[in-house]
Amino acid sequence: MSAREFNFDGLVGPSHNYAGLSFGNVASFSNVKSASNPREAALQGLAKMRELAARGFAQAVMPPQARPNFRLLRRIGFSGTDADVLARAYREAPVILACAYSASPMWTANAATVSPSADTFDGRAHFTAANLNNKLHRSEEHLQSTRTLRALFPDERHFAVHEALPPTSAFGDEGAANHTRFCATHGGKGVEFFTYGRVEFDPSAPAPKKYPARQSLEASQAIARLHGLDSARTVFASQNPDVIDQGVFHNDVIAVGNGNVLFYHEQAFHDEGAVLNALRNALAGVDTELTAIRVDTQVVAVGDAVASYLFNSQLLTKPDGAMALVIPQECQENRAVARYLEELVASGGPVDELIHFDLRQSMRNGGGPACLRLRVALTDAEIGAMHQGVIMTDALYHTLVAWVGQYYRDHLEPKDLADPQLALECSAALEQLSRILGLPGLYDLT
């Protein structure tokens, strides 16, 4: 059966700010409390969506979540009017106020894990919203993520949207940032590849010492069960704990896959040889051979990979069958990475083009091109059954650019989070956005 892979890019929300809330994310910590530009961030993301759609890639928009999260603030004791809540939270717990204002849902690779209908037991596309319970500012995203996914994929004949896993460390789940699908074609059977950083019930398993491992093996196994995946076409692999301690908080910071290609750093996995063998054996069952593109440490050090987000790129199959690598501008500015990419494109391998974007607002907060998108492979029937109002077109692009210009600030500092006017602006923006996208009732803004 034929299918297309849609990239659902997160639309950056109007509260985009640099609060340094993500311990283990080097870029996020490096820019803590500096001024952000929400308008520029949103426009950079929209420019990427428009360009890829114009090149013929299937592209859609994932709307932002409502901020500030008054539900969180009131649950922990801040009361009174909305203005009272903001003022007291800023006075007594500014970090928690920053959590309530976080625009981190822009990184939709963390929104959910997706298994296309070709892989699942019931022939439906399955989604499980990620609980993201390792970080306070992300731990309630799954509530809106589930609601949004059900609005975008409402037909239960074609789609199954599961609730997030239990919010405990045993089932720590970070979504598609630790999941990749390999296949010959998007519509054919594939191999689903789950990476994890720790094993909750095995204290002898490899684990980082400095930064937290966010994805558990138990969570990955639970999602495979929920989605009804074939065990012969499902591979679980341990991340290298040493690279987690170097800032590789998700596997998509050190490896990316597409089709039958795995583009990865030699230090990505705890047991590289075992991972490659497992993938090769699983892919043999779908009549496909793995093409592994290995980047040696002596060519690109882990530090350079993390600083440039080389592997947090999008690997896309073009209409001619070759692949393009979508990279942030920072890759061109890192000497070792730029030199490697020049050789990669000239090598005659599957990647023959680089597409680069200025995503500095996202990059400064710790997210590159791959963080900004959720991949969803859909058949023609499923495309027809999904909500059409989020598919990127030139008309939608221009409408959203005008919307951003009307509602988004071009300068946001930590002290601005105490301004009740900002909360009103965010609410008004999302009310209008829900009308633009044809999604009435998407938000509970009461």
Q: Is residue 25 a known part of a binding site?
A: yes
Q: Is residue 133 a known part of a binding site?
A: no
C-alpha span between 371 and 359 (Å, rounded): 11
Whole-angstrom CA distances from 76 to 73, 97, 143, 396 are 6, 11, 18, 39
Check the CA dihedral 198-22-161-178 and report its sign. Answer: negative
Q: Is residue 23 a known part of a binding site?
A: yes
Check if 331 is active-site. no
Check if 179 is active-site. no
Q: Is residue 202 a known part of a binding site?
A: no
For the sheet with 255-258, list strands across it.
Answer: 255-258, 261-265, 291-295
Whole-angstrom CA distances from 390 to 10, 96, 237, 387, 398 are 11, 32, 34, 7, 13
Q: Is residue 400 a known part of a binding site?
A: no
Q: Is residue 161 a known part of a binding site?
A: no
Q: Which of 263, 229, 213 lies closest to 123, judged by CA?
A: 229
Q: Is residue 214 a known part of a binding site?
A: yes
Check if 250 is active-site. yes
Q: Is residue 21 a known part of a binding site?
A: yes
C-alpha span between 325 and 313 (Å, rounded): 6
Q: Is residue 22 a known part of a binding site?
A: yes
Choose the catalytic residue: 40, 141, 174, 330. 174
Q: Is residue 26 a known part of a binding site?
A: yes
Q: Which of 286, 304, 336 lies closest to 186, judged by CA?
A: 286
CA angle 25, 216, 272 (to 5 degrees): 80
Choose the catalytic residue: 99, 331, 371, 426. 371
Q: Is residue 339 a known part of a binding site?
A: no
Q: Is residue 31 a known part of a binding site?
A: no
228 and 120 Cβ atoms separated by less than 8 Å: yes
Q: Is residue 249 a known part of a binding site?
A: no
C-alpha span between 404 and 402 (Å, rounded): 5
Q: Is residue 28 a known part of a binding site?
A: yes
SS3 label, residue 383: helix
Choose the catalytic residue: 16, 126, 142, 250. 250
| Residues with active-site annotation | 174, 250, 371
Give the residue numbers of the binding site for substrate.
19-28, 110, 137-138, 214, 252, 365
Give the residue numbers of the binding site.
19-28, 110, 137-138, 214, 252, 365
